[in-house]
Amino acid sequence: NAGVTQTPKFQVLKTGQSMTLQCAQDMNHNSMYWYRQDPGMGLRLIYYSASEGTTDKGEVPNGYNVSRLNKREFSLRLESAAPSQTSVYFCATSHGVAGRDTQYFGPGTRLTVL
In this chain, which stretch among 10-18, 21-29, 42-50, 77-85 interacts with another protein, using CB under 8 A? 42-50
CB of 40 to another protein, least distance (A): 6
Asked if 26 touches another protein (CB under 8 A), the answer is: no
Return the half-sphere exposure (C-beta side, CA atoms, 13 A cut-off) of residue 110. Answer: 2
Q: Nearest 10 degrees: CA dihedral of 52, 9, 13, 38? A: 80
Among 5, 22, 55, 103, binds another protein (CB under 8 A): 103
* Ramachandran quadrant class, 32 (left: phi over 0; alpha: psi -120 to 50; beta: rest): beta
Q: Which residues bind another protein (CB under 8 A)?
A: 35, 40-45, 48, 50, 56, 58-59, 90, 97-100, 102-103, 105-108
